[in-house]
Amino acid sequence: MKTKFFAALCFAAALFTSCSKDNNDEPKVKPTPGTEQPTPGTEQPTPETAQIKHFETLMPGYDSWVYVDLETGKYEQQEELGAREYRKYNTMTEYEVVKTEPAKGSEKDLPKKWDLAFHITDVRTNGGAVLMTDQTDISSIKTLPQGNYIEDVPGEIFVELGAMKAGGLMVVSKTMLNKEMAKWAKSTGMGKPKIISDKVFAVKFKNGNEALILFKDYLDATGKKKAVSFDYKFIKKA
């Protein structure tokens, strides 16, 4: 009797041990924080690894902007919405305001998704800051350069050049502008060709995204129509 009981006890112990081993095949060790490997294809781009893209389009006119989404390369044209002054110039610097108009909209009326906006050679960012670097090769930049990044500030643009006609008025609109990126096209005098900067512009956006911009031209292939043309890298982090 004792022999049968002992055998049954050994069988039960062996069965329990076998089941326990099946439920705990291998111990699971958690990786040390910060050492986890990213899933293939999910790594964030860097200034070194981001793809170089090209953007180019004609300018719609003095009364409108081109709003560019750097991530998709798509753009929208929209009329300048700021308050306007109708000016009669007596000299190049002296004028009298003969009429004013209130703003047609506000920042909330701008396109929903955009990074940079262009008005002839004027530029504004979507809450970003810009640095003109000393680099001329966009592909050689491995990390975003350090320096004094300049944010947009209130400014004004010409939206109508009526003064070119006898008794005409110049119409000016209040808007936000980035004075640093405006250095991409340097004026050499009225009616004379502009000089395009060969420097790469670095941009930090408010949502954490970054970009590198290298301008190519302010005219189209015919050399007659106003345009904006640039190579760029978009570094998505948000």
* pLDDT confidence of residue 62: 94
Please, which residues have CB within 8 angstroms of residue 152's CB and are 6 or more apart in sequence?
A: 124, 125, 127, 128, 176, 177, 178
User: Domain for residue 103, yes or no?
Assistant: yes
Q: Of 15-19, 92-96, 179-183, where does mean pLDDT reach its minimum? A: 15-19
pLDDT-based confidence at residue 131 (cuts at 50, 70, 90)? very high
Q: Which domain holds residue 99?
A: 52-235
Of 195, 188, 191, 202, residue with least CA distance to 217 = 195
* DSSP type of residue 213: E
Domain contains 7: no
The rounded Cα 69 to chain-centroid distance in angstroms is: 7
Residue 198 lies in a domain: yes
> From CA 88, how far away is CA 72, in angstroms rounded?
42
Answer whether residue 27 is part of any domain: no
Q: Note the pLDDT tens digit of each residue in 224-235.
A: 999 999 999 999
Q: Rounded to the nearest 5°, which phi and psi values hold at 37?
A: -90, 135
Q: DSSP alpha helices (H): ranges in the chain?
A: 2-23
Q: What is the pLDDT of residue 40?
A: 53
For the entire predicted model, the pTM comes to 0.80
Confidence of residue 11 (pLDDT cuts 50, 70, 90): very low
Q: Residues near 16 by Cβ (< 8 Å), separated by ≥ 6?
A: none
Number of Cβ within a 10 Å radius of residue 232: 24
Convert the pLDDT of each residue in 33-60 to its tens digit. Answer: 444 455 555 577 899 999 999 999 999 9
The whole-number pLDDT of residue 108 equals 93
Position 213 in a domain: yes
Q: Answer yes or no: are the C-beta atoms of 157 and 172 closer than 8 Å.
A: yes
Position 42 in a domain:
no
Q: Tell me what percent of the residues of the chain surpass a pLDDT of 90.
A: 70
How much is the average pLDDT of 151-167? 83
Q: How many CB atoms neighbour CB 198 within 10 A?
A: 12
Residue 171 maps to a domain: yes
CA 236 to chain centre: 9
pLDDT over 70 for what percent of the chain? 80
Asked if residue 125 is part of any domain, the answer here is yes
Q: How many domains does the chain have?
A: 1
Task: Read off the DSSP letter of residue 191.
Answer: T
Cα 215 from Cα 35, distance rounded (Å): 39
